[in-house]
Structure 1
Amino acid sequence: MQDSALSSSDAAAKIHLASDLQFLSGVGPDRAKLLAKLGLRAAGDALFFFPRSYEFPSAQTRLIHLREGVPASVVGTITEIESRTSANGRTTLGILVENEDGAFRVVFYNQPFRREQLGRGMRVLVSGTPKLAGLRMQFSHPRITPLALDEAPPPGDILPMYSLTEGLKQPQLRRIIGPIADALADRVQEVLPDSLREDAGERLQMPLPAIADALRQVHTPTDKDELHAARTRLAFQELLVMQLALALRRRRLTTDLTAPPMMPTAQIDARIRNRFPFELTGDQQQTIAEVGRDMGRQFPMNRLVQGDVGSGKTVIAQYAMLLAVAHGYQAIMMAPTEILARQHYATLTKAMARSRVKVGLLTGSLSGAERQQLTAAAESGELNVIVGTQALLYGNVAAAKLGLVVIDEQHKFGVGQRARLRSGGLDPHYLVLSATPIPRTMAMTMFGDLDVSTLRDKPPGRKPVHTYLARDGWRDRWWKFVRERLDEGRQVFVVTPRVSERVADAEETETEETGPEEANAAEAAEVADGMETIAGENVSAAEGVFEELQAGPLADYRLGLLHGRMSAQEKEAVMQRFAQGRTQVLVTTTVIEVGIDIANATVMTILGAEHFGLAQLHQLRGRVSRGRVPGHVCVFTDAEGSPEENERLQVFADTADGFELAEADFRLRGPGDLMGTRQSGMPPLRIADMQRDQQVLMVARQLAQEVIDADSDLSDEAFAALKKQVLRRYGKVLELGDVA
């Protein structure tokens, strides 16, 4: 008889949501330690640890019925595993799987970690699209589901698939979580009033089950339709709680807070526009009108301006800051890194030349005396505009008359950090900028408390960027092309992935003063496993690329090195040398992803491109579209044998529009860390999927707004449980304490 977490009805009667997992039958202290790595310590944790996907064994295909190019699932036992490494370091893992009908092959390229996951004698369900290779059918990069030797689901059974950690297998988790769901589902409080659940069901055109039925069905599904309804109900509840929190925040910002009105009179508007030595695009004109309307009201503007690379977002920020200064208020502009803060400072100083507007720069690298001097100037009102990094958040800067806060690259700061600037008792207007175009569903979640303006038009004179997806034979040709451009006087970026000695580089998960987040070790190792060879070279770290280029194809040129482990002063010195042309080639990690403006840099090489999202690749490409000379970008990948990855990168090479790429990235990768969600401050979603649940999100948003319009602080007793969940999950990060 198989182990189970609850072996009898008597045991089930004793379990409760707070029960320690290690004391359940079939768990024990060793397995409990593994479960804890997944965040599972109590039975209630397991109940709300939802499957990431499902397998449908009833759809199995017999080996003799496989057709080339037709997706199928086949059960068999692994009988052979062979791993080969080529001269350039690429790995090929070949697996032979047998069943009563014969044998077929499974192949993985450049995924050596699979060798540790799979072993001879393991019974597996292989799902993918087979092709004939020689005399056998072969699956390349299929999904593999481990099955217990005695796990033979009858037709109709559905297998939930959970996220794992090393040492745990799917059958073990199913045997632990399934009985817990059966025992505890009825003890979970229903937070959705029946009328609200029925209304949502009508709009979604499916009846939504009660919470107990949904929890049981999502962990121990028996029917596809019931599973779909259960998962939809749980996703709806999760998204409704989020949208209620955002609706409460929007209400609070417009009714509970007061901001100084700053009307853009005709005289002020004309004076500001006269400072722009170019014609504004139609989108810039529209956005400036929206910003002026917002800032003229008596409650804080909360507007997000999103635009593609080179669309002119900085002009909008300059207009808003000058509008604040014209009314006698100060403006703060925050950037995610000191490099970008210094660049903004230089741009603003130049733009404010021959005016009485005084601009100051405050960063974490300033000496104590310099910081004290700037702080005093801000507090006295001597400075009109203060540019800086997160030192503004964590220091004791108190502007004398703060009227506007501009945050560049909002997703790198997060909701909680944005709220922190408001904690000084002032209610300034907020303008946040994003150079990463945002899919609509993401905008409704991460930035659901903001109004959104979009810049699609680009100023005239911008030249196109030609993008190439390199193959193995391109290496020498590309470096020859790079040398030719260097000989013409152009400058070059060489970008390496965010991995150094099997650990992600710091600057991609940090802002300048706060330090990196703790990365998930398993994820870092998995990423690093794929980093052994890129474009035929050992380039696991920026330092390695720098040394190889200096000794090899670019030996006759002046190279610089930039990465996140350098101090702010070192980074600034490197960027200054590159900006002044003293360095011809800059080898860098993605610290240059956002905002770096070097017009003479027209060529970029991206190594290990498979480790970047499409949106991030597009941001990198934007660094060579700043001047009036066409740019050239070549991306190298070691993802041989992965049609999906090559297709994704081909989309990047073929698509110049950042909004199209953002939607493609969203479809191909899901929300993931598309917008730096780990840093957004918002709790992660447990079951809702922004890609799959777009209709559910729309319904949740509609109903949330209707509920808040009717009951602005959820005071109705029918909403008591729902309100409690909203405050518990989002109260702190969205400053909803006054709603309690």
Structure 2
Amino acid sequence: MIEQPDWLRLQKALTIEAEQGFTDLMGRQYRFSEFLCLTFGKLPASLSSDRDDIPQQSHRDRWQQLAQEFANYPNLDMEARQSLIAQTRRYIYQLQQLEAGGEGERGGERGNNISNPTIKTPQSTIQNPKSPIVSEVSKLLAPGIDQKLSEVAEIGPRRADKLARLGLYTVRDLLFYYPRDHIDYAKQVQISELQAGETVTIVATVKSISCFTSPKNQKLTILEMQLRDNSGRIKFSRFYAGARYASRGWQESVKRLYPVGTMLAACGLVKESKYGKTLDNPELEVLAQPGDAIESLTIGRVVPVYALTEGVVANLVREAVAAAMPATHHLKDPLPSGLRQKYNLMELKDAIANIHFPPDSDSLQASRRRLVFDEFFYLQLGLLQRQQRAKQVQTQAIFAPSGELIEEFYKILPFELTGAQQRVVNDILDDLQKNVPMNRLIQGDVGSGKTVVAVIAIVAAIQSGYQAALMAPTEVLAEQHYRKLVSWFNLLHLPVELLTGSTRVVKRRQIHAQLETGELPVLVGTHALIQDPVNFNRLGLVVIDEQHRFGVEQRAKLQQKGEQPHVLTMTATPIPRTLALTIHGDLDVSQIDELPPGRQAIQTTALMASQRSDAYDLMRREIAQGRQIYVVLPLVEESEKLDLRSAVEEHQKLQDAIFPEFQVGLLHGRMSSADKDRAITKFRDKETQILVSTTVVEVGVDVPNATVMMIEHAERFGLSQLHQLRGRVGRGAAKSYCLLMSSSKSPDAQQRLKVLEQSQDGFFVSEMDMRFRGPGEVLGKRQSGVADFTLASLVEDEEILILARQAAEKVIEIDVNLDRLYLMKQELKLRYERLMGGAILT
């Protein structure tokens, strides 16, 4: 049976295929067409059963017909694919409505009675852009919120078909289809006041007009006009591309629209031309006389700019939104008046009206603030609700916070914990005493000592008779953790094993057997830990390093190896506060914000190609003092498309031509595990002085003797990744250097690299990285967990996010299940599923 979450998945697949250009995308298992064919190959239970409210046979036939049509999808041309997907999306929506029983809106204001004074929000002066106030008559005639667009008189079936290409099927869809930008034509000036770069509206008289075919291009028609007001004159042109505009009949008809002496309103961007100031391809509207109301949806207004697709023009969307605007009267605000008053929020219906057709910039800002608040608020509400429900789960794994084994571990440590490390250890040990499973994230900069903190938690688990698992994303990092644990646990007489994809079959079977009997208390590994044959006897603690590199299902699968084990996740990628609240809002977060004593700042320098010899001189001096060097490149091998140095090519060049007197090693992701281990071991044992590598050394390679990190084509890396790479040096007592080699002269690229020259603080670097590249790219390839907001920006709207978090916390304190806030509960379900695609983040 296809249930509600699968409807969402089906609609999402159709939406993504449309957004990606109808290319029959390849998914993890199936192509788009195969997935749809399989989906429609099975009748949902609602069509298999006998229900009076659904005409069964016609829907069964249509369902099976779609299976055949999507089987033929790869053979269809572009237009036929577009048509099929548009029809399917409409049909799925209709079927959902039928299954829902046509319930529509329920509950009215029920459940929104929080006893606080009613807020007086700024009222919209433009609800329908063609009339300042929605009249009582228009309210009565207003379309319903869930009415189909094809049924709205001003839109109709033909226009509704085009709007469906944008995923817009109902009045609600249209109202919540926010503009991606606005252009302010509301400023009306005289011709003498025009300033280049401004968008303005002028009202003036037509002094001359001509319309003709360009002598240089027979398919281009030019309309030239000269306007005059009491302060001066202006000349501008409008351009029409296409053979149909070249006919004299069409050109004469345009001239008749704007005869000399006509009063005209014109708006556009002011530019400088050889004739002086002009308007760039302006919008025009004829006025009967000066002072007449301007009826246009663009002229004299703050104009909404919508995301469009092929065959859907801007004015179609604007006019459709205008037709839907009276329906804002039916919108019920899910936020209680007391909450709106506390956070100074505009009422929802006014915010929707003003985000589309704001009368001025102040109204636009107030409406945007309310709608951004909503996006953040419902996300935080969902995260906090999940956090509270997680705390209702019980675990049998209750650990003693102290004991002989923990005391012995502290004694064998060759250093004392920093204050920050001890604070985080206390947080963890406090969690481990409770019968609620721990779900804590440790954030810490490169080299801040997260691993030893996690190991104390592992020791606490073993001391209490439980097993622990530590999972890392790469074999290099897993090997690094294994070596550290072995060096400590041998002194405690505790066995520890490593399980990766490279582990031999005999050894693998031995590990499996020891896990099941409980003889093996600690297992370190990669994704191999989540394979079916891995069964723990009594798993009480799961530690996941660089957790953002694992998928949701992978992390969950490891947790399922035990009965509600405690979970400790770690990341050496510092995350800005706003991003952390968004993707880790349901976790308890501890931060190690202090480096161990004795660590020197790494001298970071951005260098151009002309300064390469200086870099080589520094490398020779460091090697002469017994130090070692990393050289990192973005590519493994040469690329025909990209003019970049490759690791293989650079290794050969450095060994043969630049440093023939030294041993130069090579490390990259395409090497076998055995070859990788050999390369790292040789470097660790000082058999090679220089290690040429790709970003596989970003985490996990710990060689305190390395003092120089040279990164080629540094402009091609994100700041956070460069900071991670820089963290591979400076791990010993000697002064270390990071050389950022760049061939780019772009001011933006140079500005980014200067951030690293000026700061060693990973949290500051990640904040700047997010500002330069956006949150999705900071975590890599729009990492799962970054919410896809419509209006909100994690860079620009931090203040609103913090307020939304506070508001969500207060609501959860009062009513965790939102039983008394029915409208809010319904809105949360709708928005949270849409925002996160139904995915669990952490």
Tell me the TM-score normalized by structure 2. Answer: 0.65
- Give the Å deviation of 1:316: 0.2
- 2:436 aligned with 1:299: yes
- How far apart, in 2, do the equivalents of 1:402 and 1:191 lie? 49
- Give the Å deviation of 1:631: 1.1
- Give the Å deviation of 1:667: 4.0
Question: 2:148: which partner in 1?
Answer: 16
- Give the Å deviation of 1:295: 0.7
Residue type of the partner of 2:346?
L
CA contact (8 A) 2:664 2:688 kept: yes
C-alpha change, 1:204 and 1:691, in structure 2 (3 Å) is: farther
Higher RCO (Cα < 8 Å, 6 or more apart): 1
Residue type of the partner of 2:795?
Q
Question: 1:524: which partner in 2?
Answer: none
Question: 1:508: which partner in 2?
Answer: none
SS at structure 2 position matched to 1:673: helix
CA contact (8 A) 2:149 2:160 kept: no
Counterparts of residues 641-720 of structure 1 (less than 5 Å): 641-642=746-747, 644-676=748-780, 678-716=782-820, 717-720=822-825
SS at structure 2 position matched to 1:493: strand
- Give the Å deviation of 1:250: 1.4
CA contact (8 A) 1:655 1:661 kept: yes
Greater shift in the superposed pair: 356-365 or 345-354: 356-365
Counterparts of residues 392-541 of structure 1 (less than 5 Å): 392-424=529-561, 426-497=563-634, 532=642, 538-539=643-644, 541=646
Question: 1:511: which partner in 2?
Answer: none
- Give the Å deviation of 1:328: 0.5
Residue type of the partner of 2:829?
K
- How far apart, in 1, do the equivalents of 2:447 and 2:327 lie? 54
Question: 1:208: which partner in 2?
Answer: 346
- How far apart, in 2, do the equivalents of 1:157 and 1:638 lie? 46
SS at structure 1 position matched to 2:385: helix
CA contact (8 A) 1:416 1:734 kept: no
- How far apart, in 1, do the equivalents of 2:480 and 2:303 lie? 53
Cα offsets for 1:183-208 (capped at 9, x unmatched): 4567799575241xx34433433x32
- Give the Å deviation of 1:720: 3.7
Residue type of the partner of 2:503?
L
SS at structure 2 position matched to 1:698: helix
- Give the Å deviation of 1:102: 12
- How far apart, in 1, do the equivalents of 2:526 and 2:480 lie? 12
- How far apart, in 1, do the equivalents of 2:190 and 2:572 lie? 50
- 2:314 aligned with 1:174: yes
Q: Percent identity?
A: 37
- Give the Å deviation of 1:317: 0.7
In structure 1, runs of 5+ residues without a counterpart are: 80-98, 104-122, 136-145, 504-527, 533-537
Residue 464 (structure 2) aligned to one of 327, 332, 339: 327
SS at structure 2 position matched to 1:255: coil
- How far apart, in 2, do the equivalents of 1:409 and 1:222 lie? 48
In structure 2, runs of 5+ residues without a counterpart are: 1-85, 87-129, 131-137, 201-213, 215-225, 227-232, 237-266, 286-296
- 2:453 aligned with 1:313: no
Residue type of the partner of 1:421?
L
RMSD between aligned alpha carbons? 4.4
- Give the Å deviation of 1:548: 4.6
C-alpha change, 1:710 and 1:17, in structure 2 (3 Å) is: farther
SS at structure 2 position matched to 1:634: strand
- Give the Å deviation of 1:258: 2.3
Counterparts of residues 177-196 of structure 1 (less than 5 Å): 177-184=317-324, 192-195=333-336
C-alpha change, 1:354 and 1:54, in structure 2 (3 Å) is: same
Counterparts of residues 371-382 of structure 1 (less than 5 Å): 371-382=508-519
C-alpha change, 1:609 and 1:551, in structure 2 (3 Å) is: same
SS at structure 1 position matched to 2:548: helix
Cα offsets for 1:395-422 (capped at 9, x unmatched): 4422111111111112222555433333
C-alpha change, 1:45 and 1:569, in structure 2 (3 Å) is: farther
Residue 386 (structure 1) aligned to one of 519, 523, 532: 523
C-alpha change, 1:723 and 1:58, in structure 2 (3 Å) is: closer
Question: 1:355: which partner in 2?
Answer: 492
C-alpha change, 1:670 and 1:72, in structure 2 (3 Å) is: farther
Residue 606 (structure 1) aligned to one of 711, 716, 735: 711
- How far apart, in 2, do the equivalents of 1:398 and 1:307 lie? 31
C-alpha change, 1:614 and 1:430, in structure 2 (3 Å) is: same
- Give the Å deviation of 1:274: 1.4
SS at structure 2 position matched to 1:453: strand
SS at structure 1 position matched to 2:568: strand
Counterparts of residues 84-233 of structure 1 (less than 5 Å): 157-160=301-304, 174-184=314-324, 192-195=333-336, 198-205=337-344, 207-210=345-348, 213-233=350-370
Greater shift in the superposed pair: 339-348 or 452-461: 452-461
Residue type of the partner of 1:253?
A
CA contact (8 A) 1:47 1:177 kept: no
Residue 241 (structure 1) aligned to one of 339, 364, 378: 378
Question: 2:391: which partner in 1?
Answer: 254
- How far apart, in 1, do the equivalents of 2:509 and 2:284 lie? 69
C-alpha change, 1:342 and 1:52, in structure 2 (3 Å) is: farther
C-alpha change, 1:102 and 1:381, in structure 2 (3 Å) is: farther
C-alpha change, 1:383 and 1:640, in structure 2 (3 Å) is: same
- How far apart, in 2, do the equivalents of 1:560 and 1:46 lie? 59
Cα offsets for 1:278-297 (capped at 9, x unmatched): 11111112111111111111
CA contact (8 A) 2:530 2:554 kept: yes
CA contact (8 A) 2:712 2:740 kept: yes
